Structure 1
Amino acid sequence: MNFSWLKSSKKGWIFAFWFYFAVLITISISAYLKVLPVKSSTIPYYDTIGHFILLGMAAFFGHLALSKRKISVWSISIPLAPLLVAICCIADELLQTLSPNRSASFYDLAADWVGIAIFYLLAERVKLKKSLGEEKL
């Protein structure tokens, strides 16, 4: 896939994030409503693989939409978007304990976090074009 149209504009990354976020929310709601099957006999571990890719991509698009913004916590620089995605993953796994149609899983949470870390590293490799007056990232 060629994402060159996104590199030229922060607006492109913001649009990509919000579009992807809408897709992700639709998938999540579908799983809670049992429209989307949680298990598949034909594709082993598809749910865990889905967690890895779906939440990883959320971190990727979010990190670029926020222009790789980081926050400082106890002198440690933490990327904001991946942190927010990780917090949402924890909240979702906790909510799954309350749902009769979903089941919380440490493996899914681990897949979320590994996906977030890997896709964050991929996003770090993307060169963002500076706009006038913007500091170098």
Structure 2
Amino acid sequence: MGDELDRAVALLGPLEGRVMRAVWTGQVDEEFVVRDVLRLMPELAYTTVMTTLRRLAEKELLTSRAQPGRKAHEYRVAGAPGEYLATASAREAADVVERYGDAALAAFAARLADLTPEQRRRLEDLAR
């Protein structure tokens, strides 16, 4: 998970990355609230952590549900770092093709032609 974790965290902003690294590595319980994250990052303001968790939920990295009878929300991780990488890369690839059209497809095809046999095997495994 180390390489995938580092790649996934690098796609996020500094604070979002810190929070997701803590979540993905189990530094908080499976279900957690703002205060649980705040214990790990006491230098941050409660509202900063709350806003960050809300944004991560909007990005679908976390799920959120209101706690009955309280204003607080309970959060859970929505998926593993590899799942986030797959979703983010698919979205970015679609954006590149939309922006550059056939030139992007030609660049992807050229990149595929340059793959080593090991990279081709891994790509075939991933495609299955």
For Structure 1 versus Structure 2, the TM-score category normalised by the shorter chain is under 0.3
Instruction: Give the TM-score normalised by the residue count of structure 1.
Output: 0.26
Query: Which is richer in helix?
Result: 2
Instruction: Give the TM-score normalised by the residue count of structure 2.
Output: 0.27
Structure (1 or 2) with the larger CA radius of gyration: 2
- Greater relative contact order (CA < 8 Å, ≥ 6 in sequence): 1
